[in-house]
Amino acid sequence: MIHTILQSKVLLYLMTATGLLGLLCQIIGNRCYRQFIREAADAQPEKGEFIKRMRYRYQIDSRCCGGTMNLPVFAQKMLMDYKYKRLTLHQWKRQALGWYLGTAAIAAAGIRYYQLQHNQGNLLVMQRGIAAITVLTLLMVLWCDSRYKEKRLLIQMQDYLSHSGIAADTGDAALEEWKEAQETTSNAGRQKQEVNYESRAQREKRQLQDSLSRIKGGEKETAASEEKDWSKERNREILKQMDAKEQERIIREVLAEFLA
């Protein structure tokens, strides 16, 4: 089966397909750079998705660091993290390089096989095919000039952030937000202190009320105890003033009432 595949032109078709995929990845990367450069250079307020996302991320990062931002670092990080069709621009470049290496590997395997089989027709086709794909890839690299466009895009992004007013607006907004946060924290601290002070005052008032209640209760108990002792002493004096018969009669009446 492998021999049949190698004898046919499947390798040539596969080599051509992988080469075209590599060229397509280069075209997509070049299209992204051109679109982003055009969006960053456009003076109109309506921007594309890339610029809108950059503005939003710049505002968030600027507020987190207090309004001071390193524009070159931010622009590079934004460009490295942004994804187009789930791939970053660097990944699109690697995809193009990977497809070209795959094309070269297929061509090398086919050329070697046809040399061993002395199949000059297919060998010549494979050699011409890899040569054509290599030339097209080099021409596409020169036409895209990704390195220059990447540098230009970074400069354009920094220029947009510096001269569009977003940096100053974000700095003022960050400062105002910081002041509001400080004022809110201060108010919360004062409210907490007032709550603690009130709770402490209420607690002391309750403790004072409990102490007064205990004092009053103690005074009542002391007064009742003194009155009881005074009554006993008075009854004892009355009994002492009576004669024996009268005391016996009083004691009998008290016992009768107690036992009744």
CB contact at 8 A, 106 and 14: yes
| Region of 243 on the Ramachandran plot (φ > 0 left; ψ -120 to 50 alpha; else beta) | beta
| pLDDT per position as a tens digit, 23-61 | 999 999 999 999 888 888 876 655 678 888 888 888 888
d(CA 105, CA 126) in angstroms, rounded, equals: 12
Please tell me the predicted confidence (pLDDT) of residue 7: 59
pLDDT over 80 (residue 100)? yes
Nearest alpha-carbon partner for 108 in 116, 3, 2? 116
- Of 119 and 180, the one with more pLDDT: 119
Please tell me the predicted confidence (pLDDT) of residue 174: 46
Nearest alpha-carbon partner for 178 in 57, 62, 24? 62
- Per cent of the chain over pLDDT 90 is 19
pLDDT over 60 (residue 157)? yes
Residue 164's SS3 state is coil
Close Cβ partners of 235 (under 8 Å, ≥ 6 residues apart):
none
CB contact at 8 A, 28 and 146: no
Where are the domains positioned within the chain? 2-164, 187-259
